Structure 1
Amino acid sequence: MLDAPLAAQLESLLGKVTSPIELVSSLDDSPKSAELAQLLDQIAGMSALVTHVRDGEATRRPSFLIRRTGTDIAVEFAGIPLGHEFTSLVLALLQVGGHPSKEAAELLDQVRNLEGDYHFETYFSLSCQNCPDVVQALNVMCTVNPRIKHTAIEGSLFQDEVDARQVMAVPTVFLNGELFGSGRMNLEQIVAKLDSGSAERTAAAISEKDPFDVLVVGGGPAGATAAIYAARKGIRTGVVAERFGGQVLDTMGIENFSSVPYTEGPKFAAALENHTRQYDVDIMNTQKAAKLTPAPTEGGLVEVELESGARLLSRTVVLATGARWRSMNVPGEQEYRNKGVTYCPHCDGPLFKGKRVAVIGGGNSGVEAAIDLAGVVAHVTLIEFDSVLRADEVLQSKLRSLPNVDIIVSALTTEVLGDGSKVTGLTYTDRTTDESRKLDLDGVFVQIGLLPNTDWLKGTVELSPRGEIVVDDHGRTSVPGVFAAGDCTTVPYKQIIVSAGAGATAALGAFDHLIRTGTPAEAAAATV
């Protein structure tokens, strides 16, 4: 089942198991059940502390429990957790087997102290790079609080269930039978939703922090690099990020970062965070900036207010807030978001197996999405506003060779249609004839570029007509002491390696500013 190198790696990791565990499988006569049984037998043969028992009574088949023998501590997988979920399987084996989680002790204590019974169900796809974070976070919760249960469900193997619950995006999480959330969530975010007072406590703790020398807003390649370069100068450095890694977390494959022939977005983001944590950097995750107030006097402190209400002060600030997927801004798009309207073909494509979908956008991302989806869905219609596709010719040639793809150019999407619970189609205007036309569809994949995350900065720093932060060759903005880097700026070519370089430039520019102003953070606090 597992190839020799992967099996050897897993067998070595299972040496960290300290408590006996049982793999309790619920199987039927399907090929997938036979495949799962083979996998579990192979795992059980790797450690004397692991056994495979085939008498499970779960209604979902194939499925299996990983249970600490003689206890209520267990996690459950419905399906075969390979692909992106193989790491989730490995961590579940280790953590149920007694190996401690690397999550912060304070956060794990919050989980232990949660009162009540919680049964989570997470729908995932093996091609989803966002799903493992959610699956692994909920599995950790099960291992420290036995009143918490979690079943991770491979959506493509339980299509009837997916359709009945109208799951059209992954990861989608249900709690005690009710929708809990959709999209990437980490342990901090999940606990914050369950522990109503945690957000206020966190905001209060953040507001009490001493002023920083450099405060980085954003945790993508630009923000992480800026923090590393600042911290290496020996100055007080902080990072406030809505999600460390930024949009890289949504990137499938990375093949053009020098010295790294191939990696995947979540792995790259984890490496960024691990590298940053090697230095004395105060990382404040799951926090979103809401307001920037320039220093009142030269040498004073810049203030950053967060959506949580917390306030941070710093001698300099590096803005690295990145960009987000551009929306079509047509009726029905937001109403049916995650109900058929989606922005990640890799994550959500498997949920549309055998269905009809549209891809909006004829650039590289749109054409690549259409090619990928054509191998999963019944039919793909690619819709492009321009009169020609803008993707590389090699991609266009591949797309045109596929028998289940139609291409419509000179088309303006005007509305996403639905029945109140899910997408049923869309309308578009033929720009050559001005006629309105309708397509019957089950899903719409939007791939029309990026927008900078700078709405909160309007009226504070100079922005370009496209909303990008205007910077000079040192990363300086129009506000003294405020620098910027990455996809949120006017720097051309929105690439990971370009953003990383710009982050280094902004941090060095901030350090140069500190040298020239020479005002200690503690003294400057008195001027605010």
Structure 2
Amino acid sequence: MLDDNLKAQLKAYLQKVTQPFEIVASLDDGDKSQELFKLLTEITELCDKIALKTDGDDARTPSFALNRPGEDTGLTFAGIPMGHEFTSLVLALLQVGGHPPKASDDVIEQIKALDADLHFETYFSLSCQNCPDVVQALNLMAILNPRIRHVAIDGALFQAEVEQREIMSVPSVYLNGEPFDQGRMSLEQILAKVDTGAAEREAAKLSEKPAFDTLMIGGGPAGAAAAVYAARKGIRTGVVAERFGGQVLDTLAIENLVSVPHTEGPKLAAALEEHVKEYEVDIMNLQRAVELVPASQPGGEHEVRFESGATLKSRTLVLATGARWREMNVPGEAEYRNKGVAYCPHCDGPLFKGKRVAVIGGGNSGVEAAIDLAGLVAEVTLIEFMDELRADDVLQKKLASLPNVKIIKGARTTEVNGDGTRVNGLTFEERASGELRHLELEGVFVQIGLVPNTEWLKNSPIELSERGEIVTDERGMTSVPGIFAAGDVTTVPYKQIVIAMGEGSRAALGAFDYLIRS
């Protein structure tokens, strides 16, 4: 299962294990159980503090639990956690083995103080880059609090459960047998949902903070770069965001970031946060901006209000709230979101194995999605509004070579159809004739571009373009003195990570220049 290089790396990690524990496997006679047994055997051979037992009685096979002697930690993997989940396995081995987690002392104490029986189940896919954050967060909660249990389940391996629970998007989390949430969640977000008083306590703490010199609203590449450049000037700097990393967290392969031949979105987001933390930057997560109150006079303090009730003030601001996936806004799309309508082919593609799906959009994102899905599903139909695809030629040639892909051009999607619980079809209009056509399918992947996150600025004096993007000058300043903007939320063309980083840096330098001159 593990090559020599991976074994060497894992052996080095497992040297951090300080207390013995057991891997208790539940196996049957199937091929997957044999694969899991081989993996677990290889792991135990790398560390003398880990013992393997095969007398587990879990109804899910193959699966395994990580238990300290005489103690049920409540942590179980159902499946073979390779792919993106291999990191989750390694962290679980280390943490059950006594290696301290990276979570803050406040978060650890908050987990330990939870006074309820919480049984979480997370359905993941091995190709999902969003799933490990959720799996790792819930694993840690199970390790730290004996009243919390967590089972991480490979949805592709336990298809019967997926069908029974009608799961069509990962990660999907159940709590005590009932749906809890879907999609990427951080440890802090999960705690905010189960610890109902946490949000109010955090909002009160934030509102008591003194004014910043520069405050970044958004923690993606633009916000992170702005924070680094501002902090290096020695001024009081803060970053407040819904989630640090922004849309990068939902990006799989990144191959055009200069000097980095290949990386993945979550890895880049983690590197951005680690870099920012090298400086004295106050990072505040889980905060959605809802209102901007500009300073009443030049050089005064701007105020930003958040959905949580928190209020922050700063002499300058860098607005870097980014953009989100554009929706079709047709009947059925919202109703069947996560019930057949999806926006992340890498995450949810494995759940549609052997089924028929459509991809909406003929740009690079849409064509790449269709190519990826073609290796998993029975049939892919790509639907493009224009008369020609807009993707790069190399991608179009690859798409055309795939036998299970159909391409429909000059078509407008008019409705997503379903039976009340899940998608079963799609209706589109042939633009040339006006005739309506129907496709029978089980999934729709929407890939039609981005929308700037500027709704919260509609009633502010910040100038916006017709598309809702923030208008900036050559220094990144908006129409309001002392307020700057950067990244995908602005009118700057070519929405690329490297451009957002440059724009964030420019905005921070512009803000510093404004401060010293005012």
1:359 partner SS: strand
SS at match of 2:266: helix
Amino acid at match of 1:501: G
Which residue is equivalent to 1:463?
A: 464
Deviation at 1:39, TM superposition (A): 0.3
2:391 counterpart of 1:366: no
**Structure 1 counterpart SS, 2:253:** coil
How does 1:320-339 map onto structure 2 within 5 Å?
320-339=320-339
Number of the residue aligned with 1:499: 500
- Cα offsets for 1:54-111 (capped at 9, x unmatched): 1111111111111122212241111111111110000000001111111011111111
Cα shift at 1:420: 1.3
Contact 2:74 2:148 in 1 (8 A): no
2:252 matches 1:252: yes
What is residue 434 of structure 1 aligned with on the other side?
Answer: 434
Counterparts of 2:159 and 2:144, CA distance in 1: 31
1:103-114 correspondence runs (5 A): 103-114=103-114
User: Which residue of structure 1 lines up, in the alignment, with residue 164 of structure 2?
Assistant: 164
What is the Cα deviation at residue 163 of structure 1?
0.9
| 1:119-158 mapped onto 2 (5 Å cutoff) | 119-158=119-158
Aligned counterparts of 2:105 and 2:394: Cα–Cα separation in 1: 51
Instruction: Using the TM superposition, give the Cα deviation of residue 19 of structure 1 relative to its aligned residue in structure 2, in angstroms.
Output: 1.4
- Structure 2 residue 180 is the aligned partner of structure 1 residue 193: no
The residue aligned with 1:82 is 82
Distance between the aligned counterparts of 1:421 and 1:37, measured in 2?
38
Cα RMSD (Å) of the superposition?
Answer: 0.7
Match of 1:50 in 2: 50
Find the aligned partners of 1:136 and 1:156 in 2 and give their Cα distance.
Answer: 19
Task: Give the number of aligned pairs.
Answer: 517
Q: Tell me which residue corresponds to 2:33.
A: 33
How many Å separate the matches in 2 of 1:287 and 1:20? 40
Distance 2:386 2:492 in 1: 25
Q: Which region of structure 1 is more displaced relative to structure 2, 313-322 or 431-440?
A: 431-440
Question: Hey, what does 1:522 align to over in structure 2?
Answer: none
- Do the aligned partners of 1:231 and 1:281 also contact (CA within 8 Å) in 2? yes
Aligned counterpart, 1:270: 270
Q: Distance in 2 between matches of 1:501 and 1:398?
A: 32
Classify the secondary structure of the residue corresponding to 2:15: helix
How far apart in 1 are the matches of 2:298 and 2:364?
46
Tell me, in whole angstroms, the C-alpha distance in 2 between the residues paired with 1:240 and 1:417.
39
- The secondary structure found in structure 1 opposite 2:215 is strand
1:404-443 equivalent positions in 2, closer than 5 A: 404-443=404-443
Tell me the CA shift for residue 369 of structure 1: 0.4
Per the TM alignment, residue 469 of structure 1 is displaced from its structure 2 partner at its CA by 0.3
TM-score (ref. length: structure 2): 0.99
* Residue 511 (structure 1) aligns with: 512
Is 1:481 paired with 2:488?
Answer: no
Match of 2:182 in 1: 182
Deviations for 1:309-346, whole angstroms, at most 9, x for unmatched residues? Answer: 11000000000001100000001111111111000000
Q: In the aligned structure 2, how far is the partner of 1:456 from the partner of 1:306?
A: 10
Q: Distance in 2 between matches of 1:374 and 1:417?
A: 22
Secondary structure of residue in 1 paired with 2:223 = helix
For each residue in 1:463-482, what CA deviation from the matched residue of structure 2 results, as whole angstroms up to 9, or x when unmatched? 01111100011000001110
Alignment partners' CA distance in 2, 1:137 and 1:100: 14
Partner residue, 2:242? 242
Report if the CA contact (8 A) 2:355-2:378 is conserved: yes
Q: Distance in 2 between matches of 1:299 and 1:401?
A: 60
TM-fit CA distance, 1:459: 3.2
Q: Which residue of 2 aligns with 1:227?
A: 227
Distance 1:415 1:509 in 2: 46
- Conservation of the 8 A alpha-carbon contact between 1:76 and 1:150: yes
SS in 2 for 1:425: strand
- Equivalent-residue separation in structure 2 for 1:53 and 1:490 (angstroms): 59
CA contact (8 A) 1:469 1:477 kept: yes
Provide runs of 4+ in structure 1 moved above 2 Å: none
Q: 1-side partners of 2:428 and 2:133: how far apart?
A: 37
Report the equivalent of 1:115.
115
Alpha-carbon distance in structure 2 between the residues aligned to 1:432 and 1:29: 57
Residue 11 of structure 1 aligns to a residue whose secondary structure is: helix
- Maintained 8 Å contact 1:221/1:499: yes
Moved more, 26-35 or 171-180: 26-35
Which whole-Å CA distance do the structure 2 matches of 1:409 and 1:258 have between them? Answer: 34
Contact map agreement 1:74 1:96 (CA 8 A) in 2: no
Contact 1:349 1:373 in 2 (8 A): yes
Measured after TM superposition, the shift of residue 394 of structure 1 is 1.3
Query: Alpha-carbon deviations, 1:100-131, whole Å to 9, x = none?
Result: 11101111111111112111000001110000
- What amino acid is aligned across from residue 135 of structure 1 in structure 2? V
Asked if the contact 1:475/1:505 (under 8 Å) is kept, the reply is yes
Using the TM superposition, give the Cα deviation of residue 299 of structure 1 relative to its aligned residue in structure 2, in angstroms. 1.4
Is 2:380–2:404's contact at 8 Å kept on the other side of the alignment?
yes
Distance in 2 (CA, whole Å) between partners of 1:242 and 1:116 is 27
Matches of 1:149 and 1:79, distance apart in 2: 17
Please give the alpha-carbon distance, in whole angstroms, between the structure 2 residues aligned to 1:442 and 1:119: 31
